[in-house]
Amino acid sequence: MMDIPPRHLVILSHVRLEVPSGAAWSRLLNYARAFIKETGGSVHLYSSRCTSLDEPPCETSVPGCWAYGKSQVSTDLRDRLWPRRQICRWLKDVLKRIQALEGERCVLIVPNNHEFWENRLSRRLMQQAGLSVYLEKNELEVGLALHLRSFQWNRLGDCIRDWLLAPYRILKAGLLDRQVSYYQGVVVISTRLERWVAKRNPNLIRIPILMDETVLNVGEPTLKGFQIGFAGTVSQRKEGLGHFIIILHELRKQLFDAELQIYGKWQTPEGRRLRRLVKRLRMENRVHFHGEKSLADMQNLLGSHHLLILPRPSTLQNEYGFSTKLATYLGSGVATLATSVSDNAHYLKDGINGFLVSPGKRNLLREKLLAIYKQRDKLSAIGMAGQSTAHEHFCAIHYGPALANFLRSK
């Protein structure tokens, strides 16, 4: 064990550093916030999507946290023929910059691009240089690989390709999952993932979804009617939005003034499919798609709703992961309705600080939504209780001491 924690934390990811939005970006900033608050050190963010390191670094919204690089399409024919060549060159440049930092350093790899070769190369290169390398694991790769495209006649070619490549994707995901034993330690996001990793690498720490405590707020619904909000991936397979829209249609007479506001990129095959569903059900005046919003905008928008939803189905990906939205939802002070996948039931108590329903049971979700609507006068108090839960369990600075102690281990 080192006497003091590292002075510099370097995070390697595949996040678009030039576009500060999304759950992955938020999680990186919260790691930085926790680390800097506890150690007074610095955090350096690098991304394999931003391989041009010629530009000076820019400071993020977290003082002491710097983002390096920008996206650049290589004009070198060799890079175009063999894209890995550019990544290898970028990694060597990053290593030189890390070695130039004064004081103790460690590296945290966040493999959100699901590339086995890149993450293996990153780990080996940093370890060979004598650096302590840790892994952040927020989902089971095999669970993601098993999430195959549902059959669509108008996308027959894509469906066939997905199914033909499925064995290769599953094999690659399995290899990436097994890499956890080669790191100095692993940061996991859920209790189920914690049990899985513990069998392969005993040096781990569980840090759940995080949020910035400075964004805790209590908003007031500003739109007419009963406003229901959702923010995230516009998808049925991962988020269960299609079933929720159907339930809203079935309850259109009982919930006569209810509207669903969806924030997230809908210009995807699944997003367009959901829009077609809304059109087929003639729900265009009840379900509204707003597109992607920045983190700052979402923090202001969420508070204008009566209810926020997280209707995820039970899949391998969802059970081993943990949705960042739960912390954001609870922090807004708005009552939250979620399915009991992953660790949701560890933090939400039905009818006390939120609402819980079993996944995959539309009749139960329908009954729960109707019951919530009938007791809408109690939602404000339940939302405040949820905000207290967010402050107690999900604020990034609360995890600073544990993270700093964990990164001391060699």
Q: Identify whether residues 177 and 261 lie together within a single domain.
A: no
Give residue 179's identity as a one-letter amino acid code. Q
Q: Taking the CB of residue 267, how many other CB atoms lie within 10 A of it?
A: 11
| Per-residue model confidence as pLDDT tens digits over 174-209 | 888 888 999 999 999 999 999 999 999 999 999 998
CATH code at 124? 3.40.50.2000
Least reliable range by pLDDT among 154-158, 266-270, 301-305, 381-385: 154-158
Q: To the nearest whole number, what is the mean pLDDT of the chain?
A: 87
Q: What is the pLDDT of residue 131?
A: 92
Q: Is residue 2 part of a domain?
A: no
Q: Identify whether residues 151 and 201 lie together within a single domain.
A: yes
Q: Is residue 1 part of a domain?
A: no
Q: What is the pLDDT of residue 189?
A: 93
| Per-residue model confidence as pLDDT tens digits over 82-98 | 778 888 889 999 999 99
Least reliable range by pLDDT among 18-27, 115-124, 346-355: 18-27
Q: Hey, what are 397's tokens? A: 């600075």
Q: Identify whether residues 268 and 199 lie together within a single domain.
A: no
Q: What is the pLDDT of residue 150?
A: 59
Q: Identify whether residues 194 and 122 lie together within a single domain.
A: yes
| Residue 2 pLDDT > 60 | no
Q: Identify whether residues 358 and 372 lie together within a single domain.
A: yes
Confidence of residue 49 (pLDDT cuts 50, 70, 90): confident
Give the C-alpha separation, 235 to 240, whole Å.
Answer: 7
Q: Identify whether residues 284 and 172 lie together within a single domain.
A: no
Q: Identify whether residues 234 and 355 lie together within a single domain.
A: yes
* Contact predicate 323/195, CB 8 Å: no
Give the C-alpha separation, 256 to 336, whole Å.
Answer: 20
Q: Identify whether residues 245 and 125 lie together within a single domain.
A: no
Q: Is residue 334 part of a domain?
A: yes
Q: Is residue 221 part of a domain?
A: yes
Residue from 92, 140, 87, 137 nearest 111 by CA? 137
Give the C-alpha separation, 274 to 241, whole Å.
Answer: 8
Q: Identify whether residues 345 and 310 lie together within a single domain.
A: yes
Confidence of residue 147 (pLDDT cuts 50, 70, 90): low
Query: pTM for this structure?
Result: 0.86
DSSP state of 409: -
Q: Is residue 342 part of a domain?
A: yes
Domain count, the chain: 2
Q: Identify whether residues 205 and 266 lie together within a single domain.
A: no
Q: Is residue 45 part of a domain?
A: yes
Q: Identify whether residues 185 and 196 lie together within a single domain.
A: yes
Q: What is the mean pLDDT of residues 100-105?
A: 91
Segments forming the whole domain that contains residue 325: 213-393
- Residue 295 — φ and ψ, nearest 5°? -60, -40
Q: Is residue 3 part of a domain?
A: no
* Contact predicate 232/309, CB 8 Å: no
Q: What is the mean pLDDT of residues 44-65?
A: 89
Q: Is residue 254 part of a domain?
A: yes
Q: Identify whether residues 254 and 332 lie together within a single domain.
A: yes
Least reliable range by pLDDT among 145-154, 186-195, 244-253: 145-154
| Per-residue model confidence as pLDDT tens digits over 299-342 | 778 888 999 999 999 988 889 989 888 998 999 999 999 999 99
**pLDDT above 90: percentage of residues in the chain:** 53
